[in-house]
Chain A
Amino acid sequence: MEKKLENLQILVNHLTYHYPDGTIALKGINLNIYSGEIVGIMGKNGAGKSTLIKTFNGLLKPTTGVVYIENDDVNNVLMSKLTRIVGIVFQNPDLQLFANTVEDEIRFSLKNLNFTKTELENQINLTLEKFKLKKFQNRTPFTLSGGEKKRLAIASIMCRNPKIIVFDEPTIGQDAEGVEFIRNLIKEKHSEGKTIIIVTHDIEFAIDNIPRTILMADGLIIADGPTNKILSQDQILNIGSLISPQLIQLSKFLIDSGFKVPDNAYLKENMIQFLGSFLKEKMEITEGGKP
Chain B
Amino acid sequence: MNLIKFEDFSFKYDQAQDFVLKDIKLNIESGKFILLCGITGSGKTSLVRAMNGLIPQFYHGEIKGDVFVKGKNTKNVPTSTLSRDVGLVFQNPENQLIAMNVEREIAFGPENIGIPWDEMDSRIKECIKITDIEHLRKKAPFEISGGEQQRVAIASILALQPEIIIFDEPTSLLDPKSAIQILNLLKKILLEKKISTIIVIEHRLDIVLPLADEVILIDKGRIIEHGEAHYVINGEKFLNSGVNIPKCVSVFQKLMNQNIFIGKLPISIEETKNLINSIK
Contacts and interface: CB of A to CB of B under 8 A. Distances in A.
A173 B279 contact: no
B177 interface: yes
Say which size band chain A's interface belongs to. Answer: 35 or more
A241 B242 contact: no
B209 to A, nearest CB: 11
Given A243-B176, A268-B254, A271-B251, 15 more contacts: A147-B40, A172-B172, A172-B173, A173-B172, A176-B39, A241-B175, A241-B177, A250-B269, A253-B273, A257-B276, A257-B280, A271-B247, A275-B252, A282-B279, A291-B262
Nearest to B173: A172
Contact of B242 (A44, A175, A240): A175
A174 to B, nearest CB: 7
B175 A268 contact: no
Contacts of B117: none
Please provide the 9 A-B residue pairs with the shortest distance between their CB atoms, ordered closest to farther: A175-B39, A241-B177, A241-B175, A246-B247, A243-B176, A279-B260, A201-B175, A272-B254, A176-B242
A179 B177 contact: no
A31 interface: no
Interface string B242-274: 111111101110110010111100000100110
Contacts of A291: 260-263, 279
Given A201-B174, A268-B250, A271-B251, A246 B262 contact: no
Contacts of B272: 246, 250
Contact of A243 (B180, B244, B252, B254): B180
A8 interface: no
Contacts of A203: 176
Nearest to B91: A173
Most buried by B among A146, A147, A243, A280: A243
Given A241-B175, A246-B247, A178 B40 contact: yes
Interface in A172-200: 172-179
Interface in B223-258: 242-248, 250-252, 254-255, 258
Contact of B177 (A172, A175, A243): A243
A45 interface: yes
B84 interface: no
A215 B51 CA distance: 41
Contact of A173 (B169, B242, B245, B252): B169
A245 interface: yes
Contacts of A220: none
Given A46-B145, A173-B40, A176-B243, A204 B251 contact: no
Interface in A242-260: 242-243, 245-247, 249-250, 253-254, 257
Q: Is chain A's interface secondary structure helix, strand, loop, or mixed overall?
A: helix
Nearest to A147: B40
24 contacts: A43-B175, A45-B174, A45-B175, A46-B145, A147-B40, A147-B41, A172-B173, A173-B40, A173-B91, A174-B40, A175-B40, A175-B242, A177-B39, A201-B175, A203-B176, A243-B180, A246-B206, A247-B251, A250-B248, A253-B273, A257-B280, A268-B251, A271-B247, A276-B258
Interface of A: 43-46, 145-147, 172-179, 201, 203-204, 237, 240-243, 245-247, 249-250, 253-254, 257, 268, 271-272, 275-276, 279-280, 282-283, 290-291
B141 interface: no
A227 to B, nearest CB: 14
B41 A146 contact: yes
B203 interface: yes
A67 to B, nearest CB: 26
Most buried by A among B203, B269, B277: B203
Nearest to B42: A175
Given A241-B175, A241-B177, A175 B261 contact: no
Given A175-B242, A276-B258, A241 B251 contact: no
A276 B41 contact: no
A194 B168 CA distance: 36
Given A176-B244, A271-B251, A272-B251, A241 B176 contact: yes
